[in-house]
Structure 1
Amino acid sequence: MTGDNDSESDDVSFSTKAIHGDTSETQNSERFGDLVPPLHHTSTFVRDEIEQPRDEYVYSRNKNPTCNELAQRIATLENANYGLTVSSGMAAIATVGWALLRPGDHVVTLDSLYGGTRNLFADIFAEFEIDIDYVDPTDTESILDAVREETALLWLETPTNPLMKLCDLSSIAKSTATSETVIAVDNTFMSPYFQRPMSFGVDVVVHSTTKYLNGHSDVTGGAIVTDDPDLHNRFHHVQKYGTGANQSPSDSYDILRGLKTLPQRMKEHERNAQELAEFLTDHKTVSDVHYPGLQSHPQHELAKSQMSGYGGMLSFELNGDRDDVKYVLEGLDHFALTASLGGVESLIAHAGTMTHAEVSKRVRTEMGISDTLIRISTGIEDSQDLLTDLKTQLDSL
């Protein structure tokens, strides 16, 4: 499981898969010779007779060739057999939840989560009498102790958003292998280039394809992959009839194009993130830097063991107050002040008022998100320009 060099059963590299997908005859049968998979921009499909096999194309909410091409491509990159595309990352998370959870069920998740995920669990799922425990992602023993017989879902982020804490995927998967609990991992931060959770025994992997998989900040989308056909069918059933949150063919087409450069982009994201993290670590205005590529990160060794790189996301604590944060963030030239991530542009966000704005102050404090926490999604610009930009602002505090 290392970047371009797959350690799976075949000898096709990740970069080749990102461009060509699964090049078997079965997967290519729908391409009709096109070098680029065509955009099937249709809501419905004409049939020749009344009876038609269920696995054929009928209606694009149910199944569309362009969306299926993207779903299979992402599944291939995650070393999975089944993929499903949906309209956003939150739609992917919600689809997994609605497919797996019933009143009286129990969920174990993390006390450091993306704000939208936390709100989905705490404000929506909890209303359906679903019991939820929030656990320290770095404490594997506490995670495992929280799992009980009625635990239907163990939901993980690794690294977490925005504090970059890691979960030990191998230990968690091995220790819960005989239980009925489904382990799902949001792999958006790392992308399958740097981390493939299913290689460790995880059941489900979710992506916001809006982010690194697309990479150009111009579409929204989500994906769910698994090796379990029953789980896949349940997710697809909810997507078709429960949420209707299908991915549009045109957005799928754009994400397919973005996937082709995923390996090259991720290398640049990581290179810039490492340089920024090292610079921030040494700056007098910064008290703490959260980036697993730093040897000072408390889980650096775990990161080396389950990731082939450290990604393009980092966060840091500014020595100062909210006014200082405002001054730094609003004065930058090469960082866009916005809450998304994973694009070729460098983005910067204040966690308290942006990524976790709808999480209460009390919960943010419990999560460890302070009023001076800043998150960066490094783009692929020249690193010196980014460093100079940050240095200028920080030095002038």
Structure 2
Amino acid sequence: MRLETKAIHAGRSIDPSTSAVTMPIHLSSTYERAGDGSYPNEYIYSRINNPNRRALEDCLTSLEEGFDTVTFGSGMAAISSLIESLPADKPRRVVMPDDMYHGIRSLLTDTDIGTNYDAVFVDMTDLTKVEEAINAAPTGLVWMESPSNPQLKVTDIQAVAKLASDAGAYSVVDNTWATPVLQKPLSLGADFSLHSVTKYIGGHSDLLLGAVIAKTDSPMLARLKAAQQAKGAVPSPFDCWLALRGVQTLPLRMATHCSNASAIADFLKQHPNVEAVHYPGLPEHPGHQVAAKQMSSFGGMLSFQVKGGQEAAMAVTAKAKLFIRATSLGGTHSLIEHRASLEGVHAVAPDNLLRVSVGIEHVEDLKEDLLQALEG
């Protein structure tokens, strides 16, 4: 099946008890054994497995063309569980990008993960620096985020995944911004593809869920599954049901997100009050050629820097009417956010940078709103 068909059919079937076309929500926390003590329908206890969760995991595995998927109660639960699932025989050293989701920095500074693992940050757009970082000391995990949050740097996934493999390290790509519609990290050589399903896959800003898709069976996947079951950071059946509902329109939504973002980027780069626009679809973007090679389109996220510093940038968000001043991304609504003030003391974003999640409203309405916010 092609991706658009998989998004609708993968992981789903007609309900055998009622013939319902839409999968029911299974809220039961426990399941009856057969008389001989076995579990004929495989389900034992909802923390261990649940029909809605299994359906979502099967769907995501199909979309990413992987081996298996493990879902969690949030994107951060997926991230922390994946890092902690690094097998005991692997070094505790993790090479990470210098521009990435700030929640991972908080994870490293505010929890014991930061003391149990040696995180090294590097510009992932420079393959020489990446190779030096990986080979400077025994490395267990190489973390990629492409396009990156919030400056939309583009990593050559295939090249970095090979560097990791040659060094005996696992590799993971946070594919949240690109989604399986635009980018297939596993086919480019990565061992794991990670998603905050909360974002584009769910697509409607109404659920909290994370997922890790594995390319093959491995000791790290086994540890990840054990962490899911034993630590219990699992998603609810209802959130899994919502995600399955949302993913059906993911290919259609992404087409509009991408076309709108491209038009907004072109508009912003011509405005005199805009200092810089970060969007890999722009030919002048330093990662444009790599993005064109590994992505089918350039995504619905962009960031731009406003002339006049933080005060001027904040003024733009205050004047916006359609663009909602809110964190998160990937929903139908367009969102705008001043990242440095959100990230706090660990901020790496420039103080005049605004991150934009371009929604699926009419693009001319969005452009008009940005125009009045920049000039009002």
> Structure 1 length normalisation: TM-score?
0.89
Alpha-carbon distance in 1 for matches of 2:273, 2:62: 44
Over residues 206-261 of structure 1, what are the superposed CA-to-partner deviations in whole Å (9 max), with x where a residue is unaligned?
A: 1000000010001110111103223332111011113x110100010011000000
Does structure 1 residue 113 correspond to structure 2 residue 100? yes
- CA shift for structure 1 position 52: 2.7
Question: What value does the CA root-mean-square deviation take over the aligned residues?
Answer: 1.9
Q: How many percent of aligned residue pairs carry the same amino acid? A: 37
2:163 to 156, 160, 175: 175
SS of the equivalent of 1:206 reads strand
2:52 to 66, 82, 90: 66
Q: Is the 8 A contact 2:91 2:140 kept in 1?
A: no
Moved more, 43-52 or 194-203: 43-52
Q: Is the 8 A contact 1:290 1:316 kept in 2?
A: yes
1:133 to 90, 108, 120: 120
Residue-pair matches, total: 372
SS of the equivalent of 1:229 reads coil
Alpha-carbon distance in 1 for matches of 2:116, 2:241: 39
Does structure 1 residue 248 correspond to structure 2 residue 228? no
Alpha-carbon distance change, 140 to 50 in structure 1, aligned in 2, over 3 angstroms? farther
One-letter amino acid matched to 1:241: A
Alpha-carbon distance change, 41 to 129 in structure 1, aligned in 2, over 3 angstroms? closer
- CA shift for structure 1 position 175: 2.9
- CA shift for structure 1 position 51: 3.5
Q: Which aligned pairs between 1:185-334 and structure 2 lie closer than 5 A? A: 185-230=173-218, 231-242=220-231, 244-334=232-322
- CA shift for structure 1 position 272: 0.7
Over residues 290-337 of structure 1, what are the superposed CA-to-partner deviations in whole Å (9 max), with x where a residue is unaligned?
A: 000001101111110000000000000000132222221011111110
2:360 to 368, 371, 380: 380
Q: Is the 8 A contact 1:41 1:249 kept in 2?
A: yes
Alpha-carbon distance in 1 for matches of 2:267, 2:172: 34
Q: Is the 8 A contact 1:348 1:377 kept in 2?
A: yes
Counterpart in 1 of 2:372?
A: 392
SS of the equivalent of 2:303 reads strand
2:133 to 146, 161, 186: 146
SS of the equivalent of 1:171 reads helix
Over residues 91-150 of structure 1, what are the superposed CA-to-partner deviations in whole Å (9 max), with x where a residue is unaligned?
A: 110110111166961110011111101221343355434211100021112112211463
Alpha-carbon distance change, 153 to 36 in structure 1, aligned in 2, over 3 angstroms? same
Counterpart in 1 of 2:2?
A: 13
Alpha-carbon distance in 2 for matches of 1:77, 1:169: 18
> Structure 2 length normalisation: TM-score?
0.94
Q: Is the 8 A contact 1:101 1:130 kept in 2?
A: no
Which structure 1 segments of 5+ residues have no match? 1-11
2:67 to 81, 87, 90: 81
- CA shift for structure 1 position 54: 10
Moved more, 177-186 or 278-287: 177-186
Q: Is the 8 A contact 1:104 1:131 kept in 2?
A: no
Counterpart in 1 of 2:78?
A: 92
Moved more, 140-149 or 57-66: 140-149
Q: Is the 8 A contact 1:169 1:202 kept in 2?
A: yes
One-letter amino acid matched to 1:17: K
Alpha-carbon distance in 2 for matches of 1:179, 1:51: 47
Counterpart in 2 of 1:4?
A: none
Q: Is the 8 A contact 2:192 2:213 kept in 1?
A: yes
Q: Is the 8 A contact 1:30 1:65 kept in 2?
A: no
Alpha-carbon distance change, 223 to 129 in structure 1, aligned in 2, over 3 angstroms? closer
Alpha-carbon distance in 1 for matches of 2:77, 2:353: 27
Does structure 1 residue 348 correspond to structure 2 residue 328? no
